Structure 1
């Protein structure tokens, strides 16, 4: 009799557990549907009615496909009458800067584009700003650092100290050079110098063309120097000082955009549930680790924190915090 009673109790417990998980599953599905509906409605609201689209470009610049997709969509949206790039970046990879610059120029072919610089638009950040038709900065913003850098590590002395020897068989002397395991041969340094200078000359020519100056004038500014917004205005790297009001003035007075059109912040789209639940959890996890919670992946979060990038880099200084002045 006791065994039968215990069996009945166990069955009731099992039913209660199953009922709980069924209800929990229904609640989770309902939340997911509600969040999805909210995101879709918010997206429709953002893309309906005439607007000026504002896109933030912040932190380390990489070849961000989602950002490129957003810029491509804004180019084709009839409701978007103009685009404002809010830039706050020390730069990043030259490929990342080039790809975003090209996307900005594609928009500028069909509608006005302005760049509103916050604390910093240096190196690849300034490269992107130069793609805009009008550059606005604060008096104390930092602009410039026009140039390219290729960094490599020589750990050979450390390896000798700890008694580690690295050997390699290569198809040619310059294969995989410069190597971190031995001092770079002169031929490798010359190869990398040619690579850097080729990209540097392209960058200088780009600035000269976009800022309506001669190559000689652009080279004077392209020694890696940074400038305040005020200095940038005098050197023709910036068109005006101010913020959103100056951007609006230019759009309305110089480009004929109707006054009073709302400015809508537009962000790259994420995929699937990453729009809601997973994105929040990921951001919280990165924040606990001291990484950028806005990063789309752990790899990009680490890169943003460390400021370490492979390949050619157009970068001033990766900074923690909001101000470059310490």
Structure 2
């Protein structure tokens, strides 16, 4: 059992990923903050300490302290088939409930359990490894938690083990999913909420309580001898210095940027502008006013009740799986990297991409003839002739183009990672020797083409505010990233 007094000390001065209105009630529930009449800081501290010692002694005496996550299914689900560490199996679905404040480490206090990012990770790892679990259903009723290293680690595990990444389907139903809770649910395959649910609060906050005037009222004076000017920055018993304000602001801005980055990784439908534009606001699942609708903003995928969402997940598991395609000859593209398109469709795509005629002819030379479902005889020939005619009309020849695999080029252009990075995708698609896997990795690591050089960033998410400086813009430019990677590859070769 963790002493709430020690917990409070751990949280002091750290960024919170929680609704501001929830911080005080949770602190009061743990007995860390005094309730009732207004008193000086000294009186409040003494009263709080007494309650903590009484509560701890009572819990130890009664033996009521919870030592591991409690598991319970709603009545409408029925009895579980199996109980794991913080989760239950029902109809082939692992069900996990996340409620209360999220901590760095899970712990029991009295007859309550407070989930930590570590205990949630253990639960999701168990479900991912259990062959009886075909899908995961998260029930979320949480106003947020603290910023800690375990949160991005948990988010990364969910992204890498969801159905989109080749793992099991992970669905989240949000009754309340604010701040740190939304950081988690954004990594699932499908995020669902009821119309009246609450979602969002993509932001961070650090609170500082200064009690120097209260100490003076009690006739107390605290004198400190320190080595290092910043040693007491942020102390509760003295006013905030300018350096303390700067450092605390830098901490919370960095936390906000990490939050936004992970949301964008988890939800490819969102853009940086949309996420930052929410201004850490809270949304209904749906609303007549689009500005307050999580569905219309793109924070969730569907509006359903919890029972409807659970039944929809089970129904998706019952959908027949398509038979596996026949094995490919050695060296052939795998099914996941191949696009079944006609020559005429590829030709149209190459023209739309703005390639010159020699590049188009070189790419089409690598394109195999259509199969049984090919276009009517003469259609492709007419399209190919059109390219030749255009070249003659221009009255000149371009430099001979290196050979490009047309199917690889089309597959690269169709990658989900190419969305928002179209310029870089086109360059990679028609780079001789490029593979789909290599292009996917380069695109995933590159920033999206959002016109960062011309956009004014939200001052609440950048310590300096204002427009991005030229050096940062150059580092974030996708073409610059591509050139740097290409130069690095050349040197390595």
TM normalised by structure 1 equals: 0.60
Answer yes or no: is 1:258 the counterpart of 2:311: no
Displacement of 1:171 after TM fit? 2.3
Relative to structure 1, the CA distance from residue 83 to residue 158 in structure 2 (aligned partners, 3 Å threshold; closer, same or farther) is same
SS of the equivalent of 1:60 reads coil
Counterparts of 1:114-193 in structure 2, within 5 Å, are 114-118=171-175, 120-193=176-249
Answer yes or no: is 1:228 the counterpart of 2:284: yes
SS of the equivalent of 1:146 reads coil
Give the whole-Å Cα distance in 2 for the aligned partners of 1:239 and 1:48.
24
Displacement of 1:145 after TM fit? 0.9
Answer yes or no: is 1:208 the counterpart of 2:264: yes
Unpaired stretches in structure 2, ≥5 consecutive residues = 1-80, 105-115, 287-292, 320-493
Give the whole-Å Cα distance in 2 for the aligned partners of 1:66 and 1:211.
24
Give the whole-Å Cα distance in 1 for the aligned partners of 2:145 and 2:89.
34
User: Which piece of structure 1 moves more, 200-209 or 233-242?
Assistant: 200-209
The answer as to whether partners of 2:152 and 2:262 remain within 8 angstroms in 1 is no
Larger RCO, structure (CA 8 Å, separation 6 or more): 1
Answer yes or no: is 1:248 the counterpart of 2:248: no
Relative to structure 1, the CA distance from residue 71 to residue 161 in structure 2 (aligned partners, 3 Å threshold; closer, same or farther) is same
Q: Which residue of 2 aligns with 1:56?
A: 97
Displacement of 1:157 after TM fit? 0.9
User: Which piece of structure 1 moves more, 241-250 or 130-139?
Assistant: 241-250
Q: Which residue of 2 aligns with 1:195?
A: 251
SS of the equivalent of 1:56 reads strand
Relative to structure 1, the CA distance from residue 99 to residue 113 in structure 2 (aligned partners, 3 Å threshold; closer, same or farther) is same
Give the whole-Å Cα distance in 1 for the aligned partners of 2:142 and 2:196.
15
SS of the equivalent of 1:198 reads helix
Relative to structure 1, the CA distance from residue 47 to residue 250 in structure 2 (aligned partners, 3 Å threshold; closer, same or farther) is closer
SS of the equivalent of 1:217 reads helix
Unpaired stretches in structure 1, ≥5 consecutive residues = 1-40, 260-326
The answer as to whether partners of 1:50 and 1:79 remain within 8 angstroms in 2 is no
TM normalised by structure 2 equals: 0.41
Q: Which residue of 2 aligns with 1:107?
A: 161
Among 137, 152, 171, the alignment partner of 1:84 is 137
- 1:261-306 Cα deviation digits (max 9, x unpaired): xxxxxxxxxxxxxxxxxxxxxxxxxxxxxxxxxxxxxxxxxxxxxx
> 4+ runs of 1 displaced by more than 6 Å?
46-50
Give the whole-Å Cα distance in 2 for the aligned partners of 1:88 and 1:103.
21
Give the whole-Å Cα distance in 2 for the aligned partners of 1:249 and 1:78.
21
The answer as to whether partners of 2:159 and 2:266 remain within 8 angstroms in 1 is no
Q: Which residue of 1 aligns with 2:274?
A: 217
Q: Which residue of 1 aligns with 2:125?
A: 72
Displacement of 1:132 after TM fit? 0.8
Decide which structure has greater strand share: 1
Q: Which has the larger radius of gyration?
A: 2
